[in-house]
A and B are shown apart, each in its own frame.
Chain A
């Protein structure tokens, strides 16, 4: 009676292995006139909203590039073909997806969301010489001997520096309570900001909120005991911090707000707290409204995602422009040539000039994306709209 299941097990294994190598044959061919750009992100699970936004931004970039003629290498023109992979923040899935992308689907360039998935994917892309853009915070995956991985995430700490410098000059001794999501990116960002803030002599307390918490009353009760002057929001989704602000106001908070990553006026308006945030300080590198390209990008994102516009994914757009420029400048798809070109090229991005550089005081290669120098703005409410006036420029 055990014979049949034994047979079944063995045959199943044999059959599936056979299917496997047949499968390789079928999918191994890739179109000759397109470059595949893989996006490894979270399309399911808690981070799906982020992944969806990131994918949308990449697709908008690909559409723009293709509609303007694609990428020219010698006398060949290539279309950019975006292929999406879902890793759901699981590093095992990330590795599997990377293997599929690189070995099976012929993907030559890819972008990865998340520090841990990026590190996992790099175990494959570095030896296989595949250029990978990391939409990820964290200092562990980019090292001085990294060859093919680039960090395209906008530094929240750099943005925060403008805000903090302004505060330290105008309101030193103020107490700031900062909120971060209780996940990998939240913790990475918080470390950078804390060091920086302490350096400027600010009184900072950091709170980490698990992603699924939207009942902020207990935590607000706690911080109200400390009577903060500023509540700083960094790296939280707009919809979440709009709720936080609303509940803080309900609990009697009367201080100011600081936005160091995005200021999602749409979400704030929806939550009915936009007027209450007047007087808040924001860093606008994520503010793409001032530029025409930026506004257009926001409209496209709105249309494509149904309202899920997250400003930080604009760097995914910019990095594709940089990739195009590098390939054309190198005149080939050879990974080493493109990498060398990426280190030196610069393009006009959504909010100004962008390029890769090696951050001062580090031994990293020129693989970190540089955004326009942040300024700090203070908001006013004029004629039913929020208007910003610049109060501080870090360049000075």
Chain B
């Protein structure tokens, strides 16, 4: 693996050197027009990369051109009216956008999906309107002329070099973001939001942060633009500019960080190739745009990437279970937190007229394995949703070692140490098993902003070590590098369990961990759970339908029916309880 990586980096370095040489050499041959186009392409690429952050997190925004424009105007005004030094004005441009995004972002991102798209649409229209109408400041539609160049970058040639440097910095920076913890977290949020939230990734905060970072970079680019062209007008920052920035990621593919690079190059360079002065240019450009999106809906890179994968896919190995195991050796993990006591008092919830939880009260002792059973529709998953914060209770309390959980967000609850798994959304399908588990590890390891956004995640040795430990203990080493979505269902569920355990839970809620598994897989899972139970280091709640497993595994069992607890006790007590018998058998 190490040799592979150094080969890859050598190849990358060689290619970078070649590209740089071409960039250097070609400028002596290229006329001002091509240099201008190259500079614009660099701007487009950086805009695309910065916009992609929020797209990774699953939200598409039309607001980017507005920040581009705000940055440009801030630069223009602070240099022409306030006489600020150009590089300071550039910083001012970025700061202004960060501030604006920090104000607008949180309320705007309470809406999601198409609603957020329309809000961002509205934002760019409103900003454009302000630029047009606030004549005393912005000079309206006529724009601001005579914007000075950045000090030290006086002409076209030096601008070209400056933009090459800018491109290199941007590529490195966004690649770093992609390789850092945040890159994976954003991707998790965008692909499988519910599961991401259940591993402690706060959607609101991360989306706003992505929005703000993107806006800051866009503002910076706005300053570059203003100083390069020397003139700004509202018509350069319209909704259409936003639409095109969005399309960079769609055309190139948002999944890989080079996607917007490809898309930006395509959109910026095709008009050049088709030649501006042709009458049919708009037709050709828009036609090619539509065709590409039609042929490759997930982006060009997704098509390109599919090809090697087709040759590479080998069926995932069946997991036969740990080779050395007949007894129940405890499944220990390093640095575990002590298990917690979970107490539920008077928990109530309803969906309209349907009472899903009626005064539910029980407790689970530290290290205990508590089973939750009941017929379909009894409210078991609802209970788990209430415990983990995905539903807000209408009344009652949930306490973990005396601390209240009942009004916290799912991510906050994970932080407190209560982790749950899902019945159907088990893993992050498009990520490797290792990545899945690494995300799980982060649930209990908060990191500084620098560590989250800058440090490559492969360098966070403690996190990596912990993930590898989990993989080893769960015997997932053979599949660690494979994509989780390609695994057989039983193995996926095992990975899901591992992800939950990786977060060092004090209370672990497993929602039907054995559903859909074959007989052998169930046996394997039961063995693992027995070994976890033997350590008594996690309080485990488990919803299950497989009675033999439940009876064998649990210390105590709670039985639900129609949202009420009808019986609590040891497995033996429950089995002989007539009420329980009735609802299950008669």
A298 contacts B by Cβ under 8 Å: no
Q: Quick check: which of A100-108, A199-207, A352-360 contacts chain B, the rest being far away?
A: A100-108
In the complex, chain B residues 117-158 whose Cβ is within 8 Å of any chain A Cβ: 135, 139-143, 145
Most buried by A among B135, B265, B272: B272
> C-beta contact mask, B290-307 vs A, less than 8 Å → 1, else 0?
000000000001001101
Q: Is the CB of A43 within 8 A of B236?
A: no
Q: Is the CB of A105 within 8 A of B30?
A: no
A14 contacts B by Cβ under 8 Å: yes
Residues of A within 8 A of B140 (CB): 184, 187
A229 contacts B by Cβ under 8 Å: no
Residues of B within 8 A of A119 (CB): 142-143, 145, 231, 233
Q: Is the CB of A17 within 8 A of B23?
A: yes
Given contacts A21-B30, A21-B34, A91-B143, contact A5 B19 (CB under 8 A): no
B276 contacts A by Cβ under 8 Å: yes
Q: How far is the CA of A38 from the CA of B277 in the complex (A)?
A: 9
Q: Is the CB of B18 within 8 A of A14?
A: yes
Closest to A116 in B: B233
Given contacts A7-B15, A91-B236, A92-B229, contact A86 B258 (CB under 8 A): no
Q: How far is the CA of A188 from the CA of B236 in the complex (A)?
A: 19
Q: Is the CB of B301 within 8 A of A8?
A: yes
Q: Is the CB of B33 within 8 A of A13?
A: no
Residues of A within 8 A of B139 (CB): 140
Q: Is the CB of A24 within 8 A of B269?
A: no
Closest Cβ–Cβ distance, residue B259 to chain A (whole Å): 8
Closest to B45 in A: A13
Residues of A within 8 A of B238 (CB): 90
Q: Is the CB of A86 within 8 A of B276?
A: yes
Q: Is the CB of B277 within 8 A of A100?
A: yes
**Which of these, B22, B33, B141, B281, contacts A104 with CB under 8 Å?**
B33
Q: Is the CB of A89 within 8 A of B282?
A: no
Residues of B within 8 A of A3 (CB): 8, 11
Residues of B within 8 A of A93 (CB): 276
Most buried by B among A2, A5, A43, A117: A5
In the complex, chain B residues 430-484 whose Cβ is within 8 Å of any chain A Cβ: none
Given contacts A17-B23, A91-B236, A123-B229, contact A6 B34 (CB under 8 A): no
In the complex, chain A residues 339-366 whose Cβ is within 8 Å of any chain B Cβ: none
Q: How far is the CA of A23 from the CA of B139 in the complex (A)?
A: 39
B194 contacts A by Cβ under 8 Å: no
Q: How far is the CA of A105 from the CA of B276 in the complex (A)?
A: 11
Q: How far is the CA of A235 from the CA of B249 in the complex (A)?
A: 41
Q: How far is the CA of A38 from the CA of B276 in the complex (A)?
A: 12
Q: How far is the CA of A38 from the CA of B279 in the complex (A)?
A: 13
Residues of B within 8 A of A91 (CB): 143, 229, 231-233, 235-236
A9 contacts B by Cβ under 8 Å: yes
Closest Cβ–Cβ distance, residue B108 to chain A (whole Å): 25
B230 contacts A by Cβ under 8 Å: yes
Q: Quick check: which of B36-44, B412-420, B503-511 contacts chain A, the rest being far away?
A: B36-44
Q: How far is the CA of A50 from the CA of B36 in the complex (A)?
A: 28
Given contacts A91-B235, A115-B142, A116-B141, contact A21 B29 (CB under 8 A): yes
Q: Is the CB of A6 within 8 A of B233?
A: no
Q: Is the CB of B22 within 8 A of A183?
A: no
Closest Cβ–Cβ distance, residue A56 to chain B (whole Å): 13
Residues of A within 8 A of B221 (CB): none
Q: How many residues of B contact A (CB 8 A)?
A: 61
Q: How far is the CA of A10 from the CA of B19 in the complex (A)?
A: 7
Q: Is the CB of B15 within 8 A of A96?
A: no
Most buried by A among B34, B281, B305: B34
B575 contacts A by Cβ under 8 Å: no
**Which of these, B34, B40, B232, contacts A24 with CB under 8 Å?**
B34
Q: Is the CB of A17 within 8 A of B236?
A: no
Closest to A191 in B: B135
Q: Is the CB of B304 within 8 A of A4?
A: yes
Closest Cβ–Cβ distance, residue B69 to chain A (whole Å): 11
A97 contacts B by Cβ under 8 Å: yes
**Which of these, A13, A90, A187, contacts B19 with CB under 8 Å?**
A13
Q: Is the CB of B229 within 8 A of A105?
A: no
In the complex, chain A residues 1-34 whose Cβ is within 8 Å of any chain B Cβ: 1-14, 16-21, 23-25, 28
Q: Is the CB of B256 within 8 A of A99?
A: no
A84 contacts B by Cβ under 8 Å: yes
Q: Is the CB of A95 within 8 A of B36?
A: yes
In the complex, chain A residues 128-175 whose Cβ is within 8 Å of any chain B Cβ: 138, 140-141
A85 contacts B by Cβ under 8 Å: yes
Given contacts A10-B16, A13-B19, contact A138 B30 (CB under 8 A): no
Q: How far is the CA of A83 from the CA of B22 in the complex (A)?
A: 32
Residues of B within 8 A of A105 (CB): 277
Residues of A within 8 A of B301 (CB): 5, 8
Closest to A123 in B: B230
Q: Is the CB of B141 within 8 A of A184?
A: yes
Given contacts A5-B301, A116-B235, contact A85 B276 (CB under 8 A): yes
Residues of A within 8 A of B142 (CB): 115-116, 119, 138, 140-141, 184, 188
B26 contacts A by Cβ under 8 Å: yes
Residues of A within 8 A of B256 (CB): 2, 5
B32 contacts A by Cβ under 8 Å: yes
Q: How far is the CA of A184 from the CA of B33 in the complex (A)?
A: 28
A120 contacts B by Cβ under 8 Å: yes
Residues of A within 8 A of B229 (CB): 91-92, 95, 120, 123
Q: How far is the CA of A302 from the CA of B360 in the complex (A)?
A: 83
Given contacts A24-B34, A85-B277, contact A96 B23 (CB under 8 A): no
In the complex, chain A residues 45-98 whose Cβ is within 8 Å of any chain B Cβ: 83-86, 89-93, 95-97
A226 contacts B by Cβ under 8 Å: no
Given contacts A14-B18, A24-B29, contact A140 B145 (CB under 8 A): yes
**Which of these, A24, A44, A97, contacts B282 with CB under 8 Å?**
A44
Residues of B within 8 A of A23 (CB): 34, 272-273
Q: How far is the CA of A85 from the CA of B271 in the complex (A)?
A: 12
**Which of these, A5, A43, A97, A117, contacts B304 with CB under 8 Å?**
A5
**Which of these, B33, B145, B282, contacts A86 with CB under 8 Å?**
B282
Q: Is the CB of A9 within 8 A of B258?
A: yes
Residues of A within 8 A of B32 (CB): 99, 102-103
> C-beta contact mask, B1-27 vs A, less than 8 Å → 1, else 0?
000000010011001101100110010
Q: Is the CB of A43 within 8 A of B31?
A: no
Residues of A within 8 A of B26 (CB): 17-18, 20-21
Closest Cβ–Cβ distance, residue A136 to chain B (whole Å): 9
Given contacts A91-B236, A92-B40, A123-B231, contact A84 B279 (CB under 8 A): yes
B56 contacts A by Cβ under 8 Å: no
Q: Is the CB of A12 within 8 A of B262?
A: yes
Most buried by A among B12, B236, B261: B236
Q: Is the CB of A120 within 8 A of B233?
A: yes
**Which of these, A97, A100, A187, contacts B141 with CB under 8 Å?**
A187
**Which of these, A8, A85, A90, contacts B258 with CB under 8 Å?**
A8
Closest Cβ–Cβ distance, residue A53 to chain B (whole Å): 15
Q: What would 11 A/B residue contacts be, using CB atoms closer than 8 Å?
A: A5-B258, A5-B301, A8-B301, A91-B235, A92-B40, A93-B276, A96-B40, A99-B37, A116-B234, A117-B235, A183-B141
* Interface contacts beyond A3-B8, A20-B272, A101-B277: sample of 20 additional A-B pairs, CB < 8 Å, sorted by A: A1-B308, A2-B256, A3-B11, A4-B307, A5-B305, A7-B11, A8-B262, A9-B262, A13-B265, A20-B26, A20-B37, A21-B30, A23-B272, A24-B34, A90-B241, A93-B276, A97-B277, A115-B141, A116-B142, A119-B233
Chain B interfacial positions (CB closer than 8 Å to A) = 8, 11-12, 15-16, 18-19, 22-23, 26, 29-34, 36-38, 40, 135, 139-143, 145, 225, 229-236, 238, 240-241, 256, 258, 261-262, 265, 269, 271-273, 275-277, 279, 281-282, 301, 304-305, 307-309, 312
Chain A interfacial positions (CB closer than 8 Å to B) = 1-14, 16-21, 23-25, 28, 38, 43-44, 83-86, 89-93, 95-97, 99-105, 115-117, 119-120, 123, 138, 140-141, 183-184, 187-188
Q: Which 3 residue pairs are nearest across A and B when measured between Cβ atoms? A: A184-B141, A116-B233, A21-B29
